[in-house]
Amino acid sequence: MTDNLASARTGTLRDGLRVLGVAIRREPGIFTLSALGSVLFGALTVADAWVLGWATDHAIVPAFREGRVGSGVLVAVAALFLGVALLRAVGIVARRLGAGVMQYRMQAAYRREVTRQYLALPMEWHQRHPTGQLLSNANSDVEAAWSPIAPLPMAVGTIAMMVFAVVQMLVTDLVMAVVGCCVFPLVIVANVAYQRLSSPLVTRIQALRAELSEIAHESFDGALVVKTLGREAQETERFGAKARQLRDLGIRAGRIRAAFDPLLEGLPNLGILVVLGVGVLRVRGGAADAGDVVTVAYLLTIVSFPIRSIGWLVGEFPRSVVGYERVHRVLDEELETSYGGQHLTSPRHGVRLAVDHLSYSHTPGQRLLEDLDLVVEPGRTVALVGATASGKSTLASLLMRLVDPDAGAITVDGTDLRDLAHGALAEQAALVPQGTFLFDDTVRGNVTLGADVPDDAVWAALRTAQADGFVAALPHGLDSRLGERGTTLSGGQRQRLSLARALVRRPRLLVLDDATSAVDPEVEQRILAAMRESADDDAVTMVLVAYRKATIALADEVVFLADGTIADRGTHAELLARNPAYARLVNAYDAEEVPAS
């Protein structure tokens, strides 16, 4: 596909046909069925003209001459019209059914492919692409890419119809056929002009739809910021400005269509009038029969329709090419996370975690972590402490393989994370981030995420996370719905449910990235004490990104990060005694801490 999607019309036509070729190769059986149905429809539509001409010569003209028509002729005419109508109906059903099935199959297949690609792409890719754009890729862009499938069988059948009709016209009367065909160049020129004017507008309209979706999603996602800072008017105007652009382009495209539609409808009718005039002269001169005039005139109305239907097909190409290109920008990404085939055993004790000469940079030239070496023995608790941008959350993401390091390795029980099978790490490890996300589901659904977990285990996890009290007070307990993003709960309650979600899986490695920041210190102490007690029972390996002294003091070892490197390590007491920078940092956090009301 070319990058300049609104380039010359020949490029758009070529790319549009290429997109259709993809669909035909993937669904050859359905396409053949719909195309045959359309060809049958076209052939029977042309047959209608022959039946009409035959009825004119054998029933209508004799009726005017003799004042009567034989019953046998009437039965023959009725049988011919009925037979043609029934067969044409079969063709219509096959054409429309095949086109619909083919279109929806392609849309469903590509939505699945886009979704699978989203799941395979690493978090660093998702962080560079707005959610609204990803939604547009999986929805409106997929629909646009395969929109030409709907008129495709019709266009195939009407091409056959046009060939049949022109041949029939030439066989019926050469002179009237030539006169009638003179209207073809005019209709083709009008169609080409229409496509040239409308294609750039349709291309821009498709892009604007995606931009509008991005703005809407961003505004809804940031509703709290918008409302608390009084930015409703500005956000409304931002959305309104883009909506007005889309409206104006849609009106311009509609005006162009309104101007050309009457022209495209009127040109064939003008040709019919000319054919009728010529046909009357030929009938008077004895060179043609009245039935021939009726046949050619009717065929001329038929052949104008294929040209229009092809125009409908070509008119969908700009949107299709834009949508296909946008979808394939996702599908062609090569940042897919690769997996090995190894699995971890599941002993009762925690994992042995090793970080070996680890380096990572978010962007080239911006190194966040540099040559880190760290070993956490099974069942031990390590606290990661450091100033803002020291690399704590980045290291937590690397431990869960949300991103891969630029150099070095992370091993769990001696196995490199990159050698693990897909899902193998998630079976043994859990991350609780600072920013929690709850689904519009019940408490049980948010904790279990659909896993088959007994209620006793759910309540046990809730007790450890100090969430059992407020959950029991909800109207329906575990079956209480929490609303979108858990809006019915406070920030601390959401964090505790997120923690319970991790604990219910009984992980061997638990990574907490400041997971209790919204919880008041007293509740946090109870949570950490319960978790430590649980960890002592199951020997869970824990890595804590921590700020509060009470949290840090629970760790067996503290790793002090500064500028992406390990500046010091030891117990909390040891670092307080020997490292002034560490002491200043944790004492500053402690001084700034304000107990929650």
Are 47 and 84 in contact by the 8 Å Cβ rule? The answer is yes
- Give residue limits of the domains in the chain: 10-195+259-331, 353-592
Residue 597 is predicted with a pLDDT of 35
Q: What is the pLDDT of residues 61-109, one digit of tens each?
A: 676 666 666 667 677 777 777 877 788 788 878 888 888 888 888 989 9
Q: How many residues does the chain have?
A: 597
| pLDDT in 10s for each residue of the chain, 597 residues | 334 433 444 456 778 888 888 888 888 888 888 888 888 877 777 777 677 766 776 667 676 666 666 667 677 777 777 877 788 788 878 888 888 888 888 989 999 998 888 887 877 777 777 776 777 788 878 888 888 887 787 777 777 777 777 777 777 777 777 777 777 777 777 777 776 777 778 778 767 877 787 788 777 777 767 777 777 888 888 888 888 988 888 888 888 878 777 776 777 777 777 877 887 887 777 777 776 777 777 777 766 666 666 666 776 777 787 788 888 888 887 766 777 788 887 676 788 889 898 888 877 667 788 888 889 888 888 888 888 888 888 888 888 888 888 888 888 888 888 888 888 888 888 888 877 788 888 888 888 888 888 888 888 888 888 888 888 888 888 888 887 777 777 878 888 888 888 888 888 888 888 777 667 676 777 777 777 666 555 678 888 888 877 778 778 899 888 888 888 888 888 888 888 888 888 887 665 554 443
DSSP 142-196: HHHHTGGGTTHHHHHHHHHHHHHHHHHHHHH-HHHHHHHHTHHHHHHHHHHHHHH
In CATH, the architecture of 10-195+259-331 is Up-down Bundle (1.20)
Residue 3 is predicted with a pLDDT of 40
Rounded to whole angstroms, the Cα distance separating 249 from 533 reads: 64
The four Cα atoms 132, 137, 139, 145 give a dihedral, to 10 degrees, of 150
Q: Does domain 353-592 have CATH number 3.40.1790.10?
A: no
Fill in the DSSP letter of residue 421.
Answer: P
Which helix (H) or strand (E) segment holds residue 290: the answer is: helix 290-315
Phi, psi of 79 (to 5 degrees): -65, -40
Rounded to whole angstroms, the Cα distance separating 333 from 119 reads: 12
Residue 480 is predicted with a pLDDT of 83
Query: 453-459 — which CB contacts under 8 Å span 24+ positions?
Result: 453/504, 457/504, 458/500, 458/504
Q: What is the 3-state secondary structure (H, E, C) of 457-494?
A: HHHHHHHHCCCHHHHHHCCCHHHCECCHHHCCCCHHHH
